[in-house]
Structure 1
Amino acid sequence: MKTFSLLSSLSMAAAAIVSPPTNAFNQLPNGYTLGNITWKGNVTNDGPEVSFTGPSFRDIEAQIFQMNPSFTWPEQNTTGLSDFPEKSLGHLTCDLANFYWAKKFRIDDGINYLKGKTGRCYIEAGPKVCSRISCSFHSAIFWCNDNDTPLWIDCGLWSQYAQNIVDACTIDDPSQEVKGQQFDTDNWNIIVGYSEC
């Protein structure tokens, strides 16, 4: 019985170490808040551009498919930042205070989901306003605006910036966890880390 109690106590202590703190749930770092995102693009071959707004890109995509159930994202053969020669990366940090880790393989899934997304994406004026553009199994990718004006960018940039974070910030141990923030010189950024979803 004493052996069982000791093992039980050790298990609970280990769970406390690896579990995210309660205040990590749905919390962005450094005072960032969640806002809406708008997508603008074509949903039919010969139709005009349309726009949809929602709290996440999954919500946007649901609206697109509601309008055109046979819609497909175009195939993209290239996935590098060389496709966006006008862009200039800012600094990257893996040290996000008060922000918890995500599982790398789940973030990889999110990056693959975002690859090939075309169109222009809009985020509300900041500073420090974000939209959750991908999230599954508590592992999220956020797009954040630090400008005091709204912002339009090419949606295809998201996956590239998130990949930079994965490449630079993944813990090199069996946990394979990742968190980080990649900035752009136009005063916006991508954040990767924990979120309750």
Structure 2
Amino acid sequence: MQLNALYLLPLAAAAVQGAAFKAAAAALVEGYSVFVPQWEVQATPGGETLLLSGTVEEVRAQLLEINPDYVAFFGPNSTAPNKAVMEDASQRDDVFKDAPVNCQGFEGADRDAIARGARYLMDVSGKPANGAGPNNCGRVSCSWDSAIWWCNSDTKPKTLDSFRDISDGAYHIIGKCYKKDGWVSGQAFHKDNWNVIAKKANC
């Protein structure tokens, strides 16, 4: 799956309403603030730019409702769990190489679902942006009760070079924090004061 001209924008928590946001906020970690990601997308090549909210999976579902041929226009998606896990070795950028990881304190998520979410994020173009922290987090992927969060630990806003950076953090967690029976959870800390969390969620 490829989302064209995609960006992640912070949305003030006070301005967000609805059960989805409340559930996401409650599902993270005490002391962390939460924003709902917003994405600038096109449903058709050359079409108008749309502003959609949610995880990458939710945005994809909205785009398919708007344009059932979305995948045909913007390329194949990689949903097969084994393929998604194998992408770790073949395509990750290693921006988290040797980065510290905390594998404790988070409820286990399905490894294949986390890998699939990481693979989705790998195909996203544009630059993700996060508001000032510390601990300002957006849930960028969630499926099968397994979520990927991107958190800014800095006191100023942060923009990354690529969504692949977040994807790499999730793959780093998979590599370092894999538990028995297909479960994984953890938090990977980038040297530039941001981090990625993979954990169980409600979705």
Give the TM-score range, shorter chain: 0.5 to 0.7
Q: Residues 113 and 35 (structure 1 numbering): CA distance in 2 closer, same or farther, change over 3 Å?
A: same
Match of 2:172 in 1: 164
TM-score (norm 1): 0.66
Match of 1:190 in 2: 196
Match of 1:130 in 2: 137
Match of 2:22 in 1: none
Match of 1:152 in 2: 159
For the 8 Å contact 1:129–1:145, the answer to whether it is kept is yes
Distance apart, 1:63 and its partner CA: 5.7
Q: Residues 184 and 67 (structure 1 numbering): CA distance in 2 closer, same or farther, change over 3 Å?
A: farther
Distance apart, 1:94 and its partner CA: 3.2
Q: How does 1:2-151 map to 2 (within 5 A)?
A: 26-29=26-29, 31-40=31-40, 45-46=45-46, 50=49, 52=51, 54-61=53-60, 70-72=69-71, 73=74, 79-81=91-93, 87=95, 91-97=99-105, 99-151=106-158
Bigger CA radius of gyration? 1
Between 152-161 and 139-148, the greater mean CA deviation after superposition = 152-161
Percent identity at matched positions? 28
**Helix, strand or coil: the match of 2:112?**
helix
CA distance in 2, matches of 1:51, 1:127: 29
For the 8 Å contact 2:41–2:52, the answer to whether it is kept is no
Distance apart, 1:162 and its partner CA: 0.6
CA distance in 2, matches of 1:75, 1:167: 25
For the 8 Å contact 2:41–2:51, the answer to whether it is kept is no
TM-score (norm 2): 0.64
**Helix, strand or coil: the match of 1:156?**
helix
Correspondence 1:178 to 2:184: yes
Q: How many pairs does the alignment contain?
A: 165
Q: Residues 106 and 67 (structure 1 numbering): CA distance in 2 closer, same or farther, change over 3 Å?
A: closer
CA distance in 2, matches of 1:65, 1:120: 23
Distance apart, 1:189 and its partner CA: 1.1
CA distance in 2, matches of 1:60, 1:123: 18
CA distance in 1, matches of 2:104, 2:98: 16
**Helix, strand or coil: the match of 1:58?**
helix
**Helix, strand or coil: the match of 1:120?**
coil
State the Cα deviation string for residues 31-83 of structure 1 (Å, max 9, x = none): 223212243566665578x473524333444565577664454579972216x
What RMSD, in angstroms, separates the aligned Cα atoms of the two structures?
Answer: 3.2
- The letter of the residue matching 1:39 is W
For the 8 Å contact 2:56–2:121, the answer to whether it is kept is no
